[in-house]
Amino acid sequence: NCAQCHGSDARGSKGFPNLTDGDWLHGGAPAKLVETLTLGRQGNMPPMAAAVGTPDDVKNVAHYVLSLSGSPHDSLRSQLGKAKFTACAACHGMDGKGNQALGAPNLTDDIWLHGWGEQAIVSMVNNGKVNVMPAQAGKLTEAQIHVLSAYVWGLSNKPATLATARP
């Protein structure tokens, strides 16, 4: 039911999130997973170029975004783009760490759902993105959704992780 989009290893691909990496758009707590599966999700970033300014301003803000994850970037452009990031902060946070209530990804972790690099980010800003996870409620029973949510939870919460997390 899930592999066609998330891959048989659940690692996803461009536009389809990796479910094994502990990086969550909408949240990885068991109740959030049940909610995602039952109702589906819609990630919605509006086109932002008009709010940012000129094409050069858009390039600058893209380099600022690259700097947030320590990715290679042009530091002059990044400095110029920082002020423009206020247009993004409402969803991605002033610190760029995202907001799960809005499905806005963390831009500081070097995990890229829609591709890495200046061009990918410029395209996100210019075109925005609507990304849909279909609701499973009509296809699966509540019990099946529960089992699948537990399975997904387990993909990024390995026993070893729990053991090392203990004091």
Residue numbers at the binding site for ligand HEC (CB under 6 A)? 1-2, 4-6, 15-17, 19, 24-26, 33, 36-37, 41, 43-46, 48, 52, 61, 65, 87-88, 90-92, 102-105, 107, 112-114, 121, 124-125, 129, 131-134, 136, 148, 152
* Structure tokens given for 46: 């509006």
CB of 145 to ligand HEC, least distance (A): 7
- State the nearest-atom distance from the C-beta of 155 to ligand HEC, in Å: 9
Smallest Cα–Cα separation from 86: which of 55, 109, 60?
60
Q: How far is the CB of 4 from ligand HEC (least distance, A)?
A: 5
* C-alpha closest to that of 102 among 89, 87, 114: 89
Choice between 97 and 114, CB closer to ligand HEC? 114
Nearest CA to 76 among 59, 99, 52? Answer: 59
* Separation of alpha carbons 167 and 152, rounded Å: 25
* Nearest-approach distance from CB 160 to ligand HEC, in angstroms: 21
In this complex, which beta carbon is closest to ligand HEC, that of residue 91 or of residue 167? 91
d(CA 102, CA 77): 28
Residue 67 vs 121, nearer CB to ligand HEC = 121
Q: Which residue has the tokens 């029973």?
A: 141
